[in-house]
Amino acid sequence: KNNKEQWSKPEKNFIGELEKTDNDVLWWFKNGVSESKYFGIAYKKNGGSHGSYYAFYPDFVLKTKKDILVVEIKDDRDLKNENLLKLNAGREYQKKYKGKENLYFYILSPLDYFNFFRALKDQTLDSFKSKFEENLVRYTQSRKVASATQTEKSK
């Protein structure tokens, strides 16, 4: 309950949905930020070999009977480039994870809650796709195309 007033509306709504999950979730944890006692994933800003590493602290860790879910919550329209870096870092972390359970990493927005919680209940998370992630990838790719076009025009 501490720091609850600092949580975003999408995070509070996610918790509301989490609290309805009955036996689907054994436990969940609202992660903190910026301290080594919390769970962080490293990601690189400013690409190339000169990029700096930063940590981001995914909002939630959930444990189901057979999976660990690491979830970052965003507003539906929060399609910043930095969120794509976090998505890539989270997927890389998921790939490298070597625990007993499956580990899944997601960035979700309120757009995803209904389908996410249904997949959680039906135990079909391996086929769940985040709409937010799809929108983020599509939007950042379209921005790259637009900026490349602008660069070409200015030459």
Report d(CA 125, CA 18) in Å as an integer.
15
Residue 3 in this model has a pLDDT that exceeds 70:
no
DSSP state, 42? E
Mean pLDDT of 23-47: 88
pLDDT reported for residue 1: 44
> What are the φ and ψ backbone dihedral angles of 94, each rounded to 5 degrees?
-60, -45
pTM greater than 0.95:
no
Residue with tokens 């135990």: 123
Average pLDDT value for the chain: 88
What pLDDT sits at residue 21?
87
pLDDT at residue 52 in the model: 82
CA distance 7 to 149: 39
Q: What confidence tier does 141 reach under pLDDT thresholds 50, 70, 90?
A: confident
Residue 61 has pLDDT above 80, yes or no: yes
pLDDT at 100: 86
Q: How large a percentage of the chain has pLDDT more than 70?
A: 87
Give me the mean pLDDT over the 141-151 stretch. Answer: 68
pLDDT (mean) for 1-6: 56
Could you count the other beta carbons within 10 Å of the beta carbon of residue 94? 16
pLDDT in tens, 88-110: 999 999 999 998 889 999 999 99
What pLDDT, on the 0 to 100 scale, is given for residue 18?
93
According to DSSP, residue 110 is labeled: G
The distance from CA 84 to its chain's CA centroid, rounded to whole angstroms, is 10
